[in-house]
Structure 1
Amino acid sequence: MFRYFQTLPLPHLETRQQPPGNALTGLPVIFYTDSPSTQTFTVDIRGFEVVIVATATGYSWHTGDGTTLTTDHPGAPYPDQSITHEYGSGDYTASLTTTWGGTFSVDGGVQADIPGTTTTEGPPVSFTVLQARPVLTNPYD
């Protein structure tokens, strides 16, 4: 069953970040994905109808600066953020590797776990982290 599981067209979950576009040093970048984390497939294997349910079980956020953040959840946007990372100024490309586990049932029978997991690589997202510098001004000029 694992061989079939590895060949399924599992989604490549997209990395979302806040703020979108450029970020600022000293302020965390929030990562999350809002892509579906469960997929159901019905396949015919040697005349048997097999229903496979794939579920995202792990998320590895590659931040683009050599750091990898590993979670068991997809994160969330502000104000419920749970996956954040601070950067120095520069250009970065982040991505998400998703680990998938699954269950299967044959002809409507009892569900069983698929031994092993498989992974998908989401599309990268690039952004620039800028350093903001305060400038004092005279409000009366």
Structure 2
Amino acid sequence: MDRPRNPDAFMRTLKRLAAFYLALFLAAFQFDAAALAQDQIGGGADDDVFFVDVERNQPPGSTPGDATPVRGDGDGEPRYDGYRSEPACGSRLGVRIPECEQQWFCPPGQMYWHILGRETATGRWVTIGGQCTPTGEEPTLPEATPAEITPAIVLRALRRLGLPEAHAQTQPEGTTLVNFDTIFFADAEIQTRDVTLLGRAVTIEAEPVEFTWHHGDGTSRTTTEPGAPYPARDITHRYASASDEPLAPRVDVTYRARFQVEGGPWRPISETVTIEGPTGSLEVTEATPVLTR
């Protein structure tokens, strides 16, 4: 094997490589991804030694030994509704490393903890700060603030969950006559949904309060009742002319909702939700006179 032409240069290269891989090792072994984004790790080499520099940057709004709840954007809801801590030392396999108990950015005899907060809006756990504590002691966490469930949050959940559509039923069914009182009605009931929002139990009650009937001939009508089958005649429509093709009547139902959080008082949601119904099929024909004896 040929000897390097410049042994000193060769050794300097080896030292730089060793510093580089040591820095990578420290970054991967001791810091999680969220904490790593807040640290600066570098390295270098001299003729006789190599070194690794680690600069610990604190997250905005937090200091070692303290982590405080961070409020949202003026909407009255906490940005974080829960807190927990994780030791910065220890392997991903759950094995504690004794050599890591005392860290260079904490005083001797102390260890560093990541403080994590659960985001109210997403439910995700994110690193928000850190604390140095005496070895064997856990950090002091902020007091969790229960998330406020607002009508806007419940309305978004209700739209995501969806409400049942109503079918426009007619009598006569399938075929009716010109200038004849065709009866319209629909089945629509109060709907109840039990959901968990921001970690809290919420009951939503949606009541149908408005029905918009589309007759299929270009006309429509809005009522506050769903109608009823014959002999009731609560909702009727007269078609002025026969149709060449079957018409497609439908009914759109508008719901007004209210909600309660963990069995508390009912709170209204001012905005309504309208669900468009499926189209049916209805032929409109003219009666043909027939002579009889």
Task: Please give the TM-score of this superposition, normalised by the length of structure 2.
Answer: 0.45
SS in 1 for 2:217: coil
2 CA distance for matches of 1:59 and 1:40? 19
1 CA distance for matches of 2:221 and 2:161? 26
- The structure whose residues are more often strand, as a share, is 1
SS in 2 for 1:136: coil
Q: Please tell me the root mean square deviation across aligned C-alpha atoms, in Å.
A: 1.1
* Corresponding position of 1:11: 164
The percentage of aligned residue pairs carrying the same residue is 39
* CA contact 1:13–1:96 (8 Å) conserved in 2: yes
Residue 132 of structure 1 deviates from its aligned partner by 1.0
1:105-129 alpha-carbon deviations (Å, 9 max, x no partner): 0000000101200111111111111
Residue 28 of structure 1 deviates from its aligned partner by 1.3
1:30-59 alpha-carbon deviations (Å, 9 max, x no partner): 10002x321100000011100000111100
Residue 80 of structure 1 deviates from its aligned partner by 1.2
Aligned structure 1 segments of 4 or more residues deviating by more than 2 angstroms: none
Residue 5 of structure 1 deviates from its aligned partner by 2.3
2 CA distance for matches of 1:126 and 1:92? 6
* Corresponding position of 1:127: 282
Residue 135 of structure 1 deviates from its aligned partner by 2.4
1 CA distance for matches of 2:173 and 2:156? 38
1:82-134 alpha-carbon deviations (Å, 9 max, x no partner): 11111121131101111011010000000010120011111111111110121
1 CA distance for matches of 2:250 and 2:161? 21
* Corresponding position of 1:81: 233
The residue type paired with residue 15 of structure 1 is A
Matched, 1:56 2:56: no
* Corresponding position of 2:109: none
1 CA distance for matches of 2:184 and 2:161? 26
The residue type paired with residue 98 of structure 1 is V
1 CA distance for matches of 2:216 and 2:178? 15
Task: Please give the TM-score of this superposition, normalised by the length of structure 1.
Answer: 0.92
SS in 2 for 1:92: coil
Q: Name which structure has the greater RCO, CA cutoff 8 Å, separation 6+.
A: 1
Which of 97, 100, 109 in structure 1 is aligned with 2:264?
109
* CA contact 1:2–1:115 (8 Å) conserved in 2: no
- The structure whose residues are more often helix, as a share, is 2
Matched, 1:92 2:247: yes
2 CA distance for matches of 1:124 and 1:81? 22
* Corresponding position of 2:192: 40
* Corresponding position of 2:26: none
SS in 1 for 2:249: strand
